[in-house]
Structure 1
Amino acid sequence: MPEEIYLVVRWAVVPAHAEEEPPREVRNGCLWLAENALPLSSLTDSRVVLDVQYRLSFKLARSPAAAET
């Protein structure tokens, strides 16, 4: 599962792909991401930033990330 997430995000963040249809192997993940991602402008809300910071403090396995990461 983490590998699938990595592939979707890796494909989705490339600006050159903006006008392309996602490849079959990442299509469902890209659709989910498009429907569930917040717009970048939401980072002006401190509550959103704190939530992102909190979520980044954990690994995908739900254990705490290293403090210096």
Structure 2
Amino acid sequence: MRKVEGHIHLVREMAGAKGQGRLSPLGNGYAIWDDGEIIKLIPDGWGDDNFLAEKYLQIMDEEEIERAVIL
């Protein structure tokens, strides 16, 4: 079966949604919205405070993902 990742974000900082403001990296895969909410943005082993295309290419190979839509 072919695998296609339909929605992957490569980000360091991004504008907010739902009125939360900007999302900024904290490190260790966590990020904080301007309103103070902290979220786990990057899965363990994928990056510290950013998620790079080079890392995702490696993950695609490991997971046998043929194509991906990058945001």
**What TM-score results when the alignment is normalised by the length of structure 2?**
0.26
- Report the structure number with the largest CA radius of gyration: 1
Q: Which has the higher contact order (CA 8 A, sep 6+)?
A: 2
**Greater share of residues in strand:** 2
**Greater share of residues in helix:** 1
